[in-house]
Structure 1
Amino acid sequence: MGSPQPLSSQPHVTDGRSPLWRGHNVFRVVTFLYACFWVVAQFEEYRRPWLALVVIILMGLWTVFTVWRYWTRAGRTNRMVLLDCVVVTVLFLSNEFILSDYQMANDFPSVVTVWHPTMVTAAAAQWGMFGGLSTGIIAAASNYLIRGYSGPTMSLDTLLLVGTGLVLGLASDTARKSTERLARALRAEAAAAERERLARSIHDSVLQVLARVRRRGTELGGETAELAKLAGEQEIALRALVATTPRETAEDGETDLAARLQVLRTSRIHVSIPGNPVWLPEPLSSDLFAVVREALANVDKHAGPQAQAWVLLEELPAEVVLTVRDDGPGIPDGRLAEAAAEGRLGVAKSIRGRVASLDGTITLDTEPDEGTEWEVRVPRPNPPPAKRRRGGKR
């Protein structure tokens, strides 16, 4: 009737359905006491008083057992709730052998009475709206089965049983989804904090050493320049590795491109992103990040070790705009065509080809001694709600 609880592996996140279960336990105890009152009041009128006594004792034992089981999340298993529904239904159907014909025909309370709907509240809390509706229908059908007639009272009972299942099931579904969102947010926050810690540690040690080797090797020239080039390539690769660490995804499999770009920040690379997450499908987010990484690699390779670079991410209603700009010497006219003719397809394949595969557009703005600016525009598969597009820059 439902899938296993998705939060059982997250012990540090409180189950949002716990208040529903506490309410169910209280409801079960109160309705059991109510049933005891009516058993005492009608004891002499039952067809089989001894069977009524057996049923009320079983109800008491089952109430104590289920309250104990449902007290903790570990006890709220699908098997336990299913068994609960079966037990309550069997005890309710036993009224067929307890109540007299007169009691049946005149709507006297059964032995189980309002303890019967507790199977609906348990199923709704566990399985949500579908479970609440299903058990509500089963409970109503059991009522019609032993009474054998239809009337205003029976219709009201049916409405209450089914309605209770629907309302509590909806509340359970909402609480479960809210808890899962909270769990994802907590995991994302912890993962982001760990990534930032690692990025700071790497930046303060390995990356600084590689950057120093690259700068010093470039200054010395000769064979050392080749080592400087290798150090620069490893610096870029290491930054990319930190930035592309597996990260938390949204409920629909999207990732936050803004969070990925943040890791690229250095003393030479300045990143400007919206104040809110920019959720994109994972393949699109990875491709755009790769475009930025390739553009920054070209800045490092062609603009010199002292060049500054700026990365700007903009989230528009129907598209995402990425701009990578540097203050280097610019690209001479015809240089890209010459590189492509020589078989060096870094820009043509890694940047322009990737953007074209995303149905996006890319424009280049460059002048001698004026730097280079790439602007990439890619359509969004699912435009975000207006409230997610608000916000300034971080």
Structure 2
Amino acid sequence: MAGADSTASGRGITVSMSTAEDTLASTMAPLWRGAVLFRVGTFVFATVGLLLHQSEYQRQWLGWLILGVMAGWTVFTSYAYSRESGHRTRIVAVDVLLTLVLIGLSALVLDRAYLETPRPTVTTVWGASCVVAAAVQAGQVGGLLAGGANALVSFFVRGYFTFDIARDTMLLIAVGFVIGMASTTARRSAMQLDQALRAQAATAERERLARSIHDGVLQVLSRVRRRGSEVGGEAAELAKLAGEQEVALRSLVAAAPPDSSVDGEVDLGPQLQVLATPRVQVSVPATPVRVPTSTAAELVAIAREALTNADKHAGPDARAWVLLEDLGEDVVLSVRDNGPGIPEGRLAEAEAEGRMGVSRSIRGRVADLGGSLALLTAPGDGVEWEIKVRRGGTE
């Protein structure tokens, strides 16, 4: 499967980014090749076993028929598992079911006297190849289930339980678990590698844009700010606005890119840092505060709405502070200003007049997140919004 590649350069480094599917496929390919080699090798072993013991079979023709099905299925799965399009759960499921049926048919090929000896069945170790495939496809759970089912059918074919059968059962389950663990680890590593490559390319592109902005927009804003301050009058107001935009743009450029993790989480800190202006101070933990992407978007929207209200009602000289706290399972976002505060009953009046900024943009979003909202205000004491949400989002 061909994926779209993109390239980003920065500081002399060129990073080629493939899709997550391509990265995963290249990481899992060695495990699938190992599964194919194991199946082919065990089929050769089963063929030799049939040639050595066929004279002891009760129904030789059925034994050869089973071997023929094993040969055809070995060819098919070797081709399928060697291609990315063949790495499908339904193919692996059919593989497990067919293998269990062939193991069960050994009871019709062999008589009771043969089965009561430790000699191999028709499928012998070839039956374990489906366990390997299930473990590669579905991880530890798939490997354990396939290994347990394989051991259970083998037990019913034999009809008794001995130390040797117990040993084989433990080996089957252990093979499924260990290979499944390797598969799960490989998948996780592939996702982390893809994320790292994307973050590196995004950072390189961000640095390139930052240089362009610094050489152009920021220098112009800085010049407007200085000249406007020197001229005075209406130009001083323009200088003030230019200075605010210069600070906001510098914060945006300096903030780390909000990269998504494998499980759909982002670091909330950088997304809040871009809200900083000369009148707004943003404080976030030094360590990443990862929350679901949707939760981060809602919390940033809440902070923007609270800051917008502060800008409208707190006065031109008021300041605001945004504080993010990581409490482990909970995340607390506080937005405070030093304006005149909200008079008692004013929010209810605004809602009655059809102005739904607070009730819809703040309270509604917090309710959707399943969090709690606290409003601390009094005339002359400013306004503080405290939003507390579970780290995992809505419960």
Q: Same fold (TM over 0.5)?
A: yes
Change beyond 3 A, Cα 1:184–1:71: same
Alignment of 1:170-181 (within 5 A): 170-181=181-192
Structure 2: runs of 5 or more not aligned: 1-17, 341-356, 374-385
Deviations 1:245-298 (A, max 9, x none): 9722335654335655887999xxxx999986564676887799899999x999
The answer on 1:166 being equivalent to 2:153 is no
Change beyond 3 A, Cα 1:122–1:138: same
Change beyond 3 A, Cα 1:292–1:141: closer
Structure 1: runs of 5 or more not aligned: 1-6, 305-310, 323-330, 335-348, 361-376, 383-394
Q: Which moved more, 1:103-112 or 1:26-35?
A: 103-112
2:233 paired residue number: 221
Number of aligned residues: 361
Q: TM-score, normalised to structure 2's length?
A: 0.64
- SS class of match (2:142): helix
Alignment of 1:1-394 (within 5 A): 9-12=20-23, 15-147=26-158, 149-152=159-162, 153-218=164-229, 219-222=231-234, 224-232=235-243, 234-235=245-246, 247-251=258-262, 254-256=265-267, 277=288, 279=290
One-letter amino acid of the counterpart of residue 78, structure 1: T
- Alignment check: 8 A CA contact 2:252 2:273 kept: no
One-letter amino acid of the counterpart of residue 95, structure 2: D
Residues in 2 aligned to 1:183 and 1:256: alpha-carbon distance in whole angstroms: 17
- Alignment check: 8 A CA contact 1:199 1:263 kept: no
Q: Which moved more, 1:106-115 or 1:172-181?
A: 172-181
Residues in 2 aligned to 1:191 and 1:93: alpha-carbon distance in whole angstroms: 55
Change beyond 3 A, Cα 1:151–1:279: closer
Identity across matched positions, percent: 43
- Alignment check: 8 A CA contact 2:203 2:257 kept: no
Q: TM-score, normalised to structure 1's length?
A: 0.64
Residues in 1 aligned to 2:21 and 2:204: alpha-carbon distance in whole angstroms: 19
- Alignment check: 8 A CA contact 1:47 1:98 kept: yes
Residues in 1 aligned to 2:244 and 2:283: alpha-carbon distance in whole angstroms: 24
Residues in 1 aligned to 2:327 and 2:100: alpha-carbon distance in whole angstroms: 56
- Alignment check: 8 A CA contact 2:23 2:191 kept: no
- Offset at 1:315? 9.1
- Offset at 1:122? 0.7
- SS class of match (2:134): helix
Change beyond 3 A, Cα 1:216–1:312: farther
One-letter amino acid of the counterpart of residue 221, structure 1: G
- Offset at 1:200? 2.6
Q: Which moved more, 1:105-114 or 1:244-253?
A: 244-253
One-letter amino acid of the counterpart of residue 151, structure 1: F
- SS class of match (2:266): strand
2:4 paired residue number: none
Considering only aligned residues, what root-mean-square deviation do their CA atoms show, in Å? Answer: 5.5
- SS class of match (1:195): helix
Deviations 1:134-185 (A, max 9, x none): 11121122212322x2221333332222222222222222222222222222
